[in-house]
Amino acid sequence: MKRILIILTLFFSFLSCKKEKSEESAKLQITKSNDMNINSIDTIKKIVEQQVLHGYAVKEAGLDMQSDYDYKKEDYEIIRQLSIDILKSYNYRVLNDENFQNKVFRIFDFKDIQKDINFLVEFACPLKKTKYQLDVNYTVSNNNPLFIDSKNKIILEALYAPQLINYKTDYPDIYNKEEKIEKSKSVNGQSFDIIKWKEIPNLDEQRKKNVQTLVARNLYLFNDSRAHFKWLIVNDAIFMRSLVTTFGYYDDKELLKWGGGDKTEFTNQNIEEANKIIYNKKCDGKIVFDQQLLNILVEDEAKATQFYDFVRYYYIDWLLSDKSIELNFSQKAEIIARIHSFIYKYAKDYRTVDFMGKFAEYNDSDNKYSKEFKLKNYYNIPEFEKQWKQAKIDGDGISLPGEE
């Protein structure tokens, strides 16, 4: 999908995967515009006509198509108003300020919400993982950025009007004008074909999907609709999995089971993906270990066995290697402690000497993990202190001074 000129070179895992939407080289910049009454019917029609008559994209011979449309704040405001109207028609229940902000914080771990300001969720965190404020003369990223609209208590994408409304039936005069626009234009001596909106294959189906996605995301996230959850995991899987893997949203057990257990293969070839659901690193540098996922894995013996073998033969080695550069020693120690304790408690035919005992023998001869665990009060994990001390006996037999 054609979208926005990037000032910072960024990559967003869940949005950038929409490759089917971004085959064109997308360049679109939000620029300063004059104040106008966005709620005016005439204004909406004016923007729709402006977008349609400009064309969907231009294409130079031998090159990919790209948009040269100057996307302004008023274009976004029109899409916001259309989105609000669509959601109202589906009986969307608008939350109050406190409940909306609480939801956004719990789902996206984002608490810097200000009234009447819209944010692009480009990454999970500010700074290294940046959220950008949409403002006049402001450049945002590509691939349909996701905005949190704190004034109207919704999330939406900065689409174009033809991607949300049927302009052919709503504005037949605009459609007739589109028929008459030239099929090509010349810029600085270069000839470009003009790709009209009416020429986009399956535009009706795309528009229907965009409306369904807008409605389903908002009703699921903010109105707790389980029916729309079912639709989303089938039709908006990248976004839904990103709630777990990118934002660390663990409150919905069914989502966690689908996005974590069911959709993840715990194999040596899939360590990076598996790692995304084992823990989530928050914006303040803290890690959140997905204990809920482990509890869900217990319910599926085959998946649990796959996870145990994955941890035993591959994951711990990965954590201890230089490949896990995102984590410091303390964070790795916590993950190791929580995984070991979980497996100690739930794995069938488990012997401490085969797993936790061997880890103690080969990796804690200098008691660096023992000291870290004790310093962190064994992370308040029930029985872990007892489990670890037994593992030390079963493994290398070297205990901390005074704990022999």
Of 162, 197, 213, at which residue does a domain stop?
213
Q: What is the pLDDT of residues 21-57, one digit of tens each?
A: 333 323 333 344 444 445 577 889 999 999 999 999 8
165 and 64 co-located in one domain: yes
Q: In this model, does residue 269 exceed pLDDT 80?
A: yes
Domain around 293:
250-394
- Same domain, yes or no: 373 and 309: yes
pLDDT category, 290, cuts 50, 70, 90? confident
Asked if 146 and 121 touch (Cβ cutoff 8 Å), the reply is yes
Q: Tell me, yes or no, whether 8 lies in a domain.
A: no
In a domain, 138, yes or no: yes
Quote the percentage of the chain above a pLDDT of 90. 32
Residues 162-209 pLDDT 10s: 999 999 999 999 999 999 888 887 777 778 888 899 999 999 999 999
55 and 167 in a single domain? The answer is yes
Instruction: Read off the pLDDT of residues 51-76 as tens digits, 9 standing for 90 and up.
Output: 999 999 888 776 777 777 888 888 88
Q: In the predicted model, is pLDDT for residue 229 greater than 50?
A: yes
Based on the domain organization, do 169 and 286 belong to the same domain?
A: no
Report the range of poorest mean pLDDT among 4-13, 51-60, 126-135, 335-344.
4-13
Same domain, 201 and 285: no
Q: Is residue 185 part of a domain?
A: yes
257 and 367 belong to one structural domain: yes
| Mean pLDDT, residues 376-384 taken together | 92
18, 166: one domain: yes
Evaluate whether residue 238 is within a structural domain: no
Residue 5 in any domain: the answer is: no
Assigned domain for 96 exists: yes
Same-domain pairing of 57 and 102: yes
Structural domains counted in the chain = 2
* Domain end (from 188, 213, 238): 213
- Whether residues 145 and 281 share a domain: the answer is no
**What is the average per-residue pLDDT within 289-311?**
82
Structural domain includes residue 7: no
Whether the Cβ atoms of residue 301 and residue 309 lie closer than 8 Å to each other? no
**Residue 222 domain flag:** no
The confidence score (pLDDT) of residue 9 equals: 25
Are 361 and 308 contained in the same domain? yes
Higher pLDDT, 349 or 203: 203
Rounded mean pLDDT of 318-336?
A: 88
Do 109 and 168 lie in one domain? The reply is yes
Three-state secondary structure readout of the chain: CCCCCCCCCCCCHHHHCCHHHCCCCCCCCCECCCCCCCCCHHHHHHHHHHHHHHCCEEEECCCCCECCCCCEHHHHHHHHHHHHHHHHHCCCCCCCHHHHHHHHHHHHCCCCCCCCCEEEECCCCCCCCCEEECCCCCCCCCCCCEEEECCCCEEEECCCHHHCCCHHHHCHHHHHHHHHCCCEEEECCEEEEEECHHHCCCHHHHHHHHHHHHHHHHHHHHHCCHHHHHHHHHHCHHHHHHHHHCCCCCCCHHHHHHHHHHCCCCCHHHHHHHHHHHEEECCCCCEEECHHHHHHHCCCHHHHHHHHHHHHHHHHHHHHCCCCCCCCHHHHHHHHHHHHHHHHHHCCCCCHHHCHHHHHHHHCCCCHHHHHHHHCHHHHCCCHHHHHHHHHHHCCCCCCCCCC
Domain boundary among 213, 242, 267: 213
Mean pLDDT value across residues 328-337: 92
| 24 and 97 housed in the same domain | yes
